[in-house]
Chain A
Amino acid sequence: MSENKLLRKDFMNIVWGAAGLLAITELSLVGLSFLSPRTAEGEFGGVFKLGHYDQYPAGSVTLVEAGRFYLVRLPEGGLLAVYRRCTHLGCAVPYDLSVGKFVCPCHGSEFTMDGDVLNEPASRPLDLFTLSVNEVGEIEVDTSSPVERDQASPNHIVYI
């Protein structure tokens, strides 16, 4: 009888302890998701419709200011949406027309037209946004999450 009582007490202790842990976990999760990033529609973070690809001649780099990316049309016609944020420490990388590459003002990283690293300290190519072209030839770029890549590869380029 008294042994039973003891067991019951141990059991209740465990149950209450577990309930306490559960409460803490739940409340932490609520807190974390309350704080998780929020994106407003139509702003940076949304989808950008950029019209027909004919508007962008081969070998051109066009800044889409609101989307913080460059629409790159490579000389052979492929398309890329290159995020403007330097992969070294996050500066805004301008495209230097005269030399045909991206040159970061902050610590001197340089990138090719398709975002590959030409010059350190950046250790990986510029990030991309997912780009798609629909049946009628209109370009859409989704800026919700940048695509990181370790190396530039032709697989990332969208051909029409």
Chain B
Amino acid sequence: MTDHPTHPPEKPALLTRIQQSIQRGPIRPPDDRSRMKMVMNSLILHIHPSKVSKPALKFTYTFGLGGLLILLGSILAVTGILLLFVYTPSPDAAYDSMIALQTEINFGNLIRNLHHWSGNLMVVVGVLHLLRVFYTAGFTRPREFNWVMGITLLLLIIAANFTGYLLPWDQLAYWAVTVGTSLFDYIPIIGEPLTRLLLGGPEVGTATLTNFYGLHIAVIPLAIFAIVSFHIWRVRKDTITVPREINQERDKGKVTTLPHLVSIEFVFALVWLALLITWAAFVNAPLEEAANPAHSPNPAKAAWYFMGFQELLLHFHPVFGAIIIPGLGLMVLILVPYLDQDMETTGIWFRSVLGRILAGLSFFLGVAGTFGFVWLNEYYLDFPGWLPFLPSSISNGWVPLAVILLILIGYYELLKAFGIKTCEARQAIFTLLLASFATLTFVGIFLRGEGMALILPWS
């Protein structure tokens, strides 16, 4: 008789037990089933579904723009936290912190540059992501509200950039924020109190820096984090739209998220990180002399993403340039998914061959028309001069606005008369407006010189 005591079941080694207390499944799951389980059970990975549409992985559909926004947001969070340890938010010390970053702190410039360029790039990528979604009809039912959240996110990204702009407290910061907040001043009734609240007084000063600092480091980032979480949760629930070619059936094929999507994301993030660090190592974020409230530079320009609005203000009565026109634009943008319900074209770039041609044509017309208008307005157009008996809100507001609306309605009706589908005609109008705003921004940034006179490159 062998008198063996019965063994208790074998206990795993201590190290394995520690490892399993952190990551419950196998670290390298061997089959699809366990890979799906790993995605489901991981806090970070479960922002993805366990399986994704195969065609939607195609890079030229999303261009990874939503993912790039997450990466940029993360870089901003890390570099921003580092900057907090060096920066003092007071008019006397803020500019010195910038100098310290440039001269004393190890890698100070690199971190500041990374933060600066990632922030600015986020505005660009946010707009590109919006355009991707728009031109592939990614906003159609049930994704309407995710589009609205996206617009909110874009506004928050711009707000984050704008509040951050003031923090270096140099001439650029001081006057760009002065000019930028003065744009709000033109909003009837609430404009003045709103600007005063934002600035903490009638002018940019100590209170403004405190306010902007609070908004920039706490309020806006938290709001972005909350809404992004909601946005991505919705993308996961609704699943991403499936791309397809014209006249092609929807491909229902699916693959497991791990490794097919996660590996693409990893490589993509690493490549962008490398690009950004290289860029930040060589290109410095601008810094001018310390802010001087007594001396405005000539010309004083708002931050580049506001130049389109500043340009509008040069051409229209302030209530129209600052409020009515941008307000109408924002309203249309928010309403886009609720107006356009053509589910047939979801996932097709520009909806059809004709849609592609029309979008191209409208873009060209928008750019050419806007350049023409800016040029005419500089040298020939003078509604207030021609209509001296009218107040400027009519001659420089209602009259040009009516002309523009008539042109848009005429264009729309013309397209419809040629039998163009509603959604393609709407896409054409959107493209026209987009091209027009992009052109105004371009003119404001590059073609405005001293006293905001139009400087043509060949003159």
Contacts and interface: CB of A to CB of B under 8 A. Distances in A.
Interface of A: 32, 35-39, 44-45, 65, 68, 85-86, 88-92, 104-108, 121, 123, 145-146
B318 A90 contact: no
B296 A92 contact: yes
Given A91-B179, A106-B179, A38 B300 contact: no
Contacts of A105: 296-300, 451
Contacts of A32: 197
Given A37-B200, A39-B201, 7 more contacts: A44-B201, A68-B203, A89-B178, A91-B179, A105-B296, A107-B314, A108-B453
Contacts of A90: 178-179, 181-182, 185, 203
A68 B313 CA distance: 26
Nearest to B300: A106
29 contacts: A35-B197, A35-B211, A36-B197, A37-B196, A37-B197, A38-B201, A39-B201, A44-B203, A44-B205, A45-B201, A68-B293, A86-B296, A89-B183, A89-B310, A90-B178, A91-B175, A92-B293, A92-B295, A104-B296, A105-B297, A105-B300, A106-B175, A106-B296, A106-B452, A107-B299, A107-B452, A108-B453, A121-B314, A123-B318
A106 B295 CA distance: 10
Classify the secondary structure of B's interface with A.
helix
Interface in B434-459: 451-453
Contacts of A146: 202
Contact of A38 (B200, B203, B310, B314): B200
A108 B297 CA distance: 12
Contacts of A89: 178-179, 182-183, 300, 302, 310, 313
B207 A121 contact: no
Contacts of B318: 123
A115 to B, nearest CB: 16
Across the A-B interface, give the 6 residue pairs with the lowest CB-CB distance, nearest first: A108-B451, A91-B296, A106-B300, A90-B182, A105-B298, A89-B182
A106 B299 contact: yes
Interface residues of B, number: 35
A92 B179 CA distance: 11
B199 interface: yes
Given A89-B179, A90-B182, A121-B313, A107 B202 contact: no
Contacts of A123: 317-318, 392
Contact of A37 (B199, B297, B313, B452): B199
Contacts of B205: 44
Interface in B275-312: 293-300, 302, 310
A145 to B, nearest CB: 7
A36 B175 CA distance: 23
Contacts of B297: 105-106
A108 B181 contact: no
A37 B179 contact: no
Question: Do most interface residues of chain A lie in helix, strand or loop, or is the interface mixed?
Answer: loop
A99 B318 CA distance: 28
A111 B196 CA distance: 24
Interface string B169-188: 00000010011011101000
A101 to B, nearest CB: 15
B299 A92 contact: no
Contacts of A44: 201, 203, 205
A37 B203 contact: no
Contacts of B181: 90
Nearest to B392: A123
A105 B298 CA distance: 5
B178 A145 contact: no
A123 B296 CA distance: 19
Nearest to A32: B197
A32 B452 CA distance: 37
A39 B208 CA distance: 12
A65 B294 contact: yes
A45 B199 CA distance: 13
B262 to A, nearest CB: 42
Nearest to B183: A89
A10 B181 CA distance: 48
A37 B175 contact: no
Nearest to A39: B201
Given A105-B297, A107-B299, A107-B452, A91 B200 contact: no
A123 B302 CA distance: 19
Nearest to B293: A92
B175 A145 contact: no
A107 B296 CA distance: 11
A92 B175 CA distance: 10
B456 to A, nearest CB: 18
Nearest to B199: A37
Interface in B196-218: 196-197, 199-203, 205, 207, 211
A9 B135 CA distance: 52
A85 B298 contact: no
Nearest to A36: B197
A123 to B, nearest CB: 6
A92 B302 CA distance: 15
Nearest to B179: A89
Given A35-B197, A121-B314, A92 B298 contact: no
Contacts of B211: 35
B73 to A, nearest CB: 26
Nearest to A146: B202
Interface in B359-404: 392
A91 B175 CA distance: 7
